[in-house]
Structure 1
Amino acid sequence: MSALLRCVQLSLPLAALALPTKEETPAVTAIHPIGPPLDEFRPYWANSNVTVPEVATISQQGLLHQPSTEQPPSSAASKRWVNGGVDDRVQYNDQSYPYSAMGKLGFPGGYCSGSLIGPRHVAAARHCYVANQPYVFQPDYNGGDVFPSSSVSTILLSNRDGDGDGGDCFSQDDWAVFVLSERLGDARGYLGARAIEGSDQGQPKFTNFGYPGDLSGGNRPYRQTGVTASRVGGCDRGGNPGPAHTDLDCSGGQSGSSLFLSAAEGAYSYGVLSTAYVSGDVVVDSVFAGA
């Protein structure tokens, strides 16, 4: 498997991105962490007094059994990967729940997307973590703060059992929880967390909401509906089959955004955006880390 590559180059011609049929799908030649865009947002932090958060590693089971997690009850310098040659991401301005619980996770060198999964807890991708940097979460950011933001006091990183294998276990373990200084979720709401299952495959039912660097320079939120999980599994550990391979269109800045569904009792995250599996200039899958 080839080495991991960070996506920081500009977009590919859409005409060259027609997705092959299943019979023609080529072998994956590269696996790219989706982001974050770097070196574009340092002026925002020039006079910031936000402190660097504490960092700890934790397993999935440890996270689930840690009381402090408060689990709920239930620019353009970014490479663009588009499934099927058509970009289905649409700018979406909505201040109601569940979009109020999703937002921009910024640090001096760039940003990712993230989702509140508790009053103080934001789920994002592990590769969004950069050592010795302060972080701020801005719910439903839209060209500026829409709601009050909060700094990050603690970061809980997955213990990365799949680190270095460059495949499904890397993607499955690419999650982190950023613990906020303020309980923003009390006002903005938060998503529940559910594990994606094989029965969820082949249904265009999921939604994604995040901040792609190739659209509006990452300053506006974009939504894609009808996202399909084409395959679930490949790193089956502990009865949690993952990750989820999807047809999401993506670029740097969308890292950490949730694959979610809305239900009568609220919205649920089924994973956070981790990587793009690419063959040449064609995206094969956009992959979500497991819950």
Structure 2
Amino acid sequence: MPDSNEKPVSFKELERHFQARKAVNDTPIQIERRFHVQADREPVVKTRLERVDRGDNQLHWEIVVELDGIRAGSRALPPALKGQAVKAERRKVSEDELARQLTSFIPDHLGFNATPVELQKSIKTIREVVGERRVATTIFGTDNRRAFRDTTYPWSTVGLVQTNRGSGSGVMIGPRHLLTVSHVIDWTAPAGFAADWVRFTPSYYDGTAPFGEAYGSHIYWYVKEDGDGFITGDEANFDYVVVVLDRRLGETTGWMGARGYNDDWDDLAVWSHMGYPGDLNGGQRPTWQGGFRVDGTDADAQSILHKADVFPGQSGGPVFGFWDGDVGPRAVAVQSWQTSSNNGASGSMDMRDLVARARSEFA
């Protein structure tokens, strides 16, 4: 187990310290896919299976669900979230103890790759504005984002977050714990609830959901982003939430660990990021970029500056590194905002503490 001051493993050394492996066993997994309906009585449900031939000699199946008794033209939404605001306060346990508690987890049914192996060519679906006045860009120099299909660990832990406000990215940070940004959450919840619905689909790719999906049931936060379209002040430092999911999805996908950022790590080219950018592939495929530097802003609650390439949709995706002695990576921040001079992630010590609280109160 690394101590709190140990530096992350150099990006060039990753595959030496964290060797790729196949799954320990081939145990089939159970997944859930869901949708919601309105009906005046309990619907009658019928299901059937049909083979799908795609010419690749693989066994593809279509699951057909027929529902009888649905109210015509009705729309139904998922459950809203309970929750509570949390006050950032002095930590009651040591950083080394929290590092031991907030470790990562790799299920035996998943393989491991320190960098994704199923890289894909991206299609540019939103192009930059070109004219006499250049708009603020979030791509610095060459675009280094790479789309991927890899479902080994840790690529299995990141997925698409969907809410009433649109979509973003998120990462499993515990057995039933999702880390994402505050500004993707719909805080205009029905009476008696903290926030409206959240759906998480890990390893979402072109509509597929190899690990199923889960919905939020509870939420922890420090600051609610106010929805005005700008991330300013405390919003930039605290633009993250932990959503407790309604089932232990992490036992299927695995999860990343969490760690507070140490400013001694400024300028180390050791960090990676994953997310779902809207300008590539219509936000339907995850992208990855690795080996970039960050610069913390010297506080427990930090905006962590970087020049990794980002676009809306990547918000909530983790900034993470690997430490010798761990089984997998740890997230230190989530992508939050962008300008023409820097991109910014929110995280550090207070983020780690929020994760610790959510994981201790919802095992």
Q: Shared fold (TM-score greater than 0.5)?
A: yes
* Structure 1 contact 59–159 (Cα < 8 Å) conserved: no
Q: Which has the higher contact order (CA 8 A, sep 6+)?
A: 1
How large is the RMSD of aligned CA atoms in angstroms? Answer: 3.3
Q: Does 1:107 align with 2:160?
A: no
Q: Could you tell me which residue of structure 2 aligns to residue 148 of structure 1? A: 212
For residues 205 and 271 of structure 1, the distance between their equivalents in structure 2, rounded to whole angstroms, comes to: 14
Larger deviation: 118-127 or 151-160?
A: 151-160
Q: What CA deviation, in whole Å up to 9, does each residue of 1:221-273 have, x standing for no partner?
A: 111111210x2115x2xxx2622101111111111110011344211001011
Long gaps (5+) in structure 2: 1-34, 38-73, 94-100, 105-123, 129-135, 190-195, 352-363
Matches within 5 A, 1:191-206: 191-206=256-271
For residues 197 and 231 of structure 2, the distance between their equivalents in structure 1, rounded to whole angstroms, comes to: 28
Larger deviation: 151-160 or 97-106?
A: 151-160
Structure with greater strand percent = 1
Q: Could you tell me which residue of structure 1 aligns to residue 78 of structure 2? A: 50
For residues 152 and 178 of structure 2, the distance between their equivalents in structure 1, rounded to whole angstroms, comes to: 18
2:319 to 259, 270, 284: 259
2:103 to 69, 73, 81: 73
The SS at the match of 1:59 is: coil
- Which residue identity lines up with residue 235 of structure 2 in the other structure? F
Q: What CA deviation, in whole Å up to 9, does each residue of 1:27-48 have, x standing for no partner?
A: xxxxxxxxxxxxxxxx999855
For the structure 1 residues 47 and 245, does the alpha-carbon distance in structure 2 shift closer, same or farther, using more than 3 Å as the test?
Answer: same
Matches within 5 A, 1:98-177: 98-130=154-186, 131-132=188-189, 133-143=196-206, 144-159=208-223, 167=232, 169-177=234-242
Indicate the percent of aligned positions where both proteins have the same amino acid. Answer: 25
Structure with bigger gyration radius: 2
Q: Could you tell me which residue of structure 2 aligns to residue 27 of structure 1? A: none
Q: TM-score, normalised by structure 1?
A: 0.71
* Structure 1 contact 197–241 (Cα < 8 Å) conserved: no
Q: Does 1:178 align with 2:268?
A: no
- Which residue identity lines up with residue 86 of structure 2 in the other structure? I
- Which residue identity lines up with residue 270 of structure 1 in the other structure? V
For residues 103 and 227 of structure 1, the distance between their equivalents in structure 2, rounded to whole angstroms, comes to: 21
Q: Could you tell me which residue of structure 2 aligns to residue 4 of structure 1? A: none
For residues 90 and 271 of structure 1, the distance between their equivalents in structure 2, rounded to whole angstroms, comes to: 20
Long gaps (5+) in structure 1: 1-42, 66-70
Q: Could you tell me which residue of structure 2 aligns to residue 272 of structure 1? A: 334
Q: Report the count of equivalent residues.
A: 234
Q: What CA deviation, in whole Å up to 9, does each residue of 1:179-233 have, x standing for no partner?
A: 100100112111111111111111221111110011111100111111210x211
For residues 121 and 111 of structure 1, the distance between their equivalents in structure 2, rounded to whole angstroms, comes to: 18
For the structure 1 residues 273 and 106, does the alpha-carbon distance in structure 2 shift closer, same or farther, using more than 3 Å as the test?
Answer: same
Q: TM-score, normalised by structure 2?
A: 0.58
- State the shift of 1:160 in Å: 6.1
* Structure 1 contact 243–288 (Cα < 8 Å) conserved: yes
For the structure 1 residues 251 and 44, does the alpha-carbon distance in structure 2 shift closer, same or farther, using more than 3 Å as the test?
Answer: farther
* Structure 2 contact 275–288 (Cα < 8 Å) conserved: yes
* Structure 1 contact 127–174 (Cα < 8 Å) conserved: yes
